[in-house]
A = this chain, B = another copy of it.
Amino acid sequence: MPNLWITIPDSSLSDEQTKRDKSIKIAQFARACSIFRTKRVYIYHDALSQFEKDDLDLLKTILRYLDTPQYLRKILFPMMHQLQYAGILHPIKAPHHRVLEDIKKAKAGDVRTGVIVKVKGQLFVEVGLGSLVPFAGEGLEGKRVNVKLTSSYPNLKAIQATDEDILDYWGYEVKEVPSLSKLLASVEKTAIIITSRKGRYFKNIETGLAEHTKNVQNILVVFGAPKHGVHEILAKEGASVRPYEYVVNMFPNQGTETVRLEEAVLGTLAILNSTLYS
C-alpha cells in the first residue's frame, strides 16, 4: 500500500467549545491516523470558517505530542498550556512507542526514535534506554530523529535510520500548509481522494482506485471543515474539485444530519484500509 497521507483544516476544532473537548477530538484524529498507519497529516488553512486563534497550535501540538514516544515527551514538550488535558487522552501505542527497556538487551539493528543532545562537545541520542547512546552524525542537535543501533550493549552506537531500516509503522509527521488547492497541485505520484457528501459512492470508484493506487507512491485523503465542505473551501481559493477523479461520499445514506469530522476520518480510513491493504 502507498504512503497514506491525510489533510484536515485548521478549523477542525471550530465545533468544540472547551479546550478539554478540543483535546479529546484531536486525540481521536491521532488514534484514527495511527490505527491506519497514516504517515503525514497536512493541516491546511480554511479561509471560510471562524475559529479560535489558538486552535491551530493546539491541533499541531497535541497531534505531535501523542505521536511522540513517552520517554521523549519531557525533552520535546516542556510545560505547555496546550497539553493541559494530555493526561486524559487515550494513548496511541504504536510500534515506535517503546517502553523504557533494559539497556543490556539493546542490540545492533534496533531502531528507536530519539532526540539528539550534545554533552561536552559530543553528540548523543536519548532513546529511552536509561543512558544516552553515542551518535555518529551531525547537525541534528535537539531534533527528533529515528536512529539505528550499529553495535550491541555495552558498546552501543547509533546512526540515523533510513526508511529501509524501519519495517513497522513509525508514526506520522504534521505539516502546515497555507492553501488546500496549492497542496493538491503540488503533490506528485499521489492519488488524491476528496471526501464530500456530494461525491460518488466509494463502491463505484473502488476498483478504479485500487488499480490506480498500484502506480502511485502516496494516497492523500482530503477532509472538509466542520462547517464547510471541500467544494466550498476550494471555491474560496478560486479552485474547484473538478480536476480530481475521486470525489467520494464514504457514508452513503447516512442516518444523521451530519457526520462529524473525527467520525469521517476514522470511517474513511477504515474503508480505505479494508479495500487497499493486502
Closest CB of chain B to A246's CB: distance in Å? 14
A256 with B21, Cβ < 8 A, contacts A35-B251, A263-B35, A275-B203 known: no
Whether the Cβ atoms of A274 and B256 lie closer than 8 Å is no
Closest CB of chain B to A230's CB: distance in Å? 19
Tell whether A271 is near chain B: CB-to-CB under 8 Å.
yes
Tell whether A179 is near chain B: CB-to-CB under 8 Å.
no
Chain A contact residue count (CB 8 A cutoff): 42
Q: List 24 A-B contacts (CB under 8 A).
A: A24-B24, A31-B256, A35-B256, A35-B259, A35-B263, A36-B251, A37-B253, A90-B260, A93-B257, A93-B258, A94-B255, A94-B256, A169-B255, A201-B277, A202-B274, A250-B270, A250-B274, A251-B274, A252-B273, A263-B266, A267-B270, A270-B271, A271-B271, A271-B274
Contact of A270 among B169, B251, B255, B256 (CB under 8 A): B251
Query: Which residues of chain B are within 8 angstroms of A255 by Cβ–Cβ distance?
Result: 34-38, 94-95, 169
Query: Which residues of chain B are within 8 angstroms of A38 by Cβ–Cβ distance?
Result: 255
Report the bound CA distance from A161 to B269 in whole Å.
39
Closest CB of chain B to A84's CB: distance in Å? 16
Contact of A274 among B93, B203, B258, B259 (CB under 8 A): B203
Tell whether A88 is near chain B: CB-to-CB under 8 Å.
yes
Tell whether A192 is near chain B: CB-to-CB under 8 Å.
no
Tell whether A115 is near chain B: CB-to-CB under 8 Å.
no
- Give the contacts of A5-35 with B (CB-CB under 8 A): 21, 24, 31-32, 34-35
Q: How many copies does the complex hold?
A: 2
Query: Which residues of chain B are within 8 angstroms of A169 by Cβ–Cβ distance?
Result: 255
Tell whether A196 is near chain B: CB-to-CB under 8 Å.
no
Query: Which residues of chain B are within 8 angstroms of A162 by Cβ–Cβ distance?
Result: none
Query: Which residues of chain B are within 8 angstroms of A95 by Cβ–Cβ distance?
Result: 255
Contact mask for chain A residues 222-262; partner B; CB cutoff 8 A; 1 contact, 0 none: 00000000000000000000000000001111111111100
Report the bound CA distance from A92 to B260 in whole Å.
10
Report the bound CA distance from A216 to B169 in whole Å.
39
Query: Which residues of chain B are within 8 angstroms of A24 by Cβ–Cβ distance?
Result: 24
Tell whether A278 is near chain B: CB-to-CB under 8 Å.
yes
Query: Which residues of chain B are within 8 angstroms of A258 by Cβ–Cβ distance?
Result: 93
Tell whether A268 is near chain B: CB-to-CB under 8 Å.
yes
A253 with B267, Cβ < 8 A, contacts A31-B260, A203-B278 known: no
